[in-house]
Amino acid sequence: MTTATMRALEELQAILGPRGWLAGEDMASFTVDIRGSYGGPALLVARPTSTQEVAAVVRVCARHGIAIVPQGGNTSLCGGAVPLTEGAACIVLSLARMNRIVSVDPLNFTMTVEAGCIVDDIREAAHEAGLLFAMNWGASGSAMIGGAISTNAGGLNVLRFGNTREQVLGLEVVLPDGRVWNGLRALRKDASGYDLKHLFIGAEGTLGVVTRAVLRLHARPPLEQTLYAAVSEPARLAELFALARATADADLTAFELIPGDMVELALRQQPAIVRPLDTRAHWYVLVRLAGRSDITAKLETFFSQAFEAGWVADAVLAASLSQEKNLWTLREEIAPLRRLRGKVLKWDASVPIDAIVPLLARAQECATAIHAASRVIAFGHVGDGNLHLSIWPEGTPGELAFDARCDQIVEAIDELIWALGGSICAEHGVGVENRRRVQGQKTALELELMAAIKSLFDPAGLLNPGKLFNP
Ligand X SMILES: Cc1cc2nc3c(=O)[nH]c(=O)nc-3n(C[C@H](O)[C@H](O)[C@H](O)COP(=O)(O)OP(=O)(O)OC[C@H]3O[C@@H](n4cnc5c(N)ncnc54)[C@H](O)[C@@H]3O)c2cc1C
Binding site for ligand X (CB under 6 A): 34, 69-77, 80-81, 95, 115, 137-139, 143-144, 146-148, 150-151, 153-155, 204-205, 209-210, 427-429, 464, 467
Please, what is the minimum distance in Å from the beta carbon of residue 185 to ligand X?
Answer: 18
Contacts of 250 (CB under 8 A, 6+ apart): 160, 291
Residue 319 burial (CB < 10 Å; 0-12/13-18/19+)? Answer: exposed
Please, what is the minimum distance in Å from the beta carbon of residue 237 to ligand X?
Answer: 21
Rounded-to-integer distance, Cα 468 and Cα 97, Å: 26
Nearer to ligand X among residue 75 and residue 226 (C-beta): 75
Which of 99, 97, 142, 109 lies closest to 215, judged by CA? 109
3-state secondary structure 364-410: HHHHHHHCCCEEEEEEEEHHHCEEEEEEEECCCCCCHHHHHHHHHHH
Phi, psi for residue 65 in degrees, rounded to 5: 65, 30
Please, what is the minimum distance in Å from the beta carbon of residue 420 to ligand X?
Answer: 21
User: Long-range contacts of range 10-15, CB-CB < 8 Å, 24 or more positions apart?
Assistant: 11/60, 12/44, 12/46, 12/57, 12/60, 12/61, 12/91, 13/44, 15/48, 15/53, 15/56, 15/57, 15/60
Which of 174, 35, 96 lies closest to 463, judged by CA? 174
Nearer to ligand X among residue 57 and residue 153 (C-beta): 153
Rounded-to-integer distance, Cα 178 and Cα 7, Å: 19
Nearer to ligand X among residue 211 and residue 247 (C-beta): 211
Rounded-to-integer distance, Cα 60 and Cα 290, Å: 50
Please, what is the minimum distance in Å from the beta carbon of residue 140 to ligand X?
Answer: 7
Nearer to ligand X among residue 138 and residue 397 (C-beta): 138
Quick one: CA torsion of 419, 424, 426, 431, rounded to 10 degrees? -150
Rounded-to-integer distance, Cα 189 and Cα 25, Å: 48
Query: What Å distances lie between residue 43 and 1, 6, 83, 431, 454, CA to CA?
Result: 9, 10, 10, 21, 24
Please, what is the minimum distance in Å from the beta carbon of residue 403 to ligand X?
Answer: 25
Report the amino acid identity of residue 20. G
Nearer to ligand X among residue 159 and residue 299 (C-beta): 159
Nearer to ligand X among residue 125 and residue 316 (C-beta): 125
Query: What Å distances lie between residue 286 and 110, 266, 317, CA to CA?
Result: 31, 15, 10
Phi, psi for residue 82 in degrees, rounded to 5: -125, 155
- Tell me which residue has its CB nearest to ligand X: 147
Nearer to ligand X among residue 302 and residue 469 (C-beta): 469
Please, what is the minimum distance in Å from the beta carbon of residue 102 to ligand X?
Answer: 15
What is the bridge-based pairing of β-strands 101-105 and 110-114?
antiparallel
Please, what is the minimum distance in Å from the beta carbon of residue 363 to ligand X?
Answer: 21
Nearer to ligand X among residue 34 and residue 180 (C-beta): 34
Return the SS3 of 100: coil
Please, what is the minimum distance in Å from the beta carbon of residue 212 to ligand X?
Answer: 9
Crossing angle of helices 400-419 and 356-370, in 10° steps, is 150
Please, what is the minimum distance in Å from the beta carbon of residue 206 to ligand X?
Answer: 8
Phi, psi for residue 352 in degrees, rounded to 5: -55, 145
Nearer to ligand X among residue 8 and residue 54 (C-beta): 54
Run of H or E including 263: helix 260-269
At residue 387's C-alpha, the angle toward residues 311 and 382, to 5°, is 40
Please, what is the minimum distance in Å from the beta carbon of residue 288 to ligand X?
Answer: 16
Nearer to ligand X among residue 206 and residue 326 (C-beta): 206
Nearer to ligand X among residue 110 and residue 211 (C-beta): 211
Please, what is the minimum distance in Å from the beta carbon of residue 75 to ligand X?
Answer: 3
Please, what is the minimum distance in Å from the beta carbon of residue 334 to ligand X?
Answer: 13
Nearer to ligand X among residue 16 and residue 143 (C-beta): 143
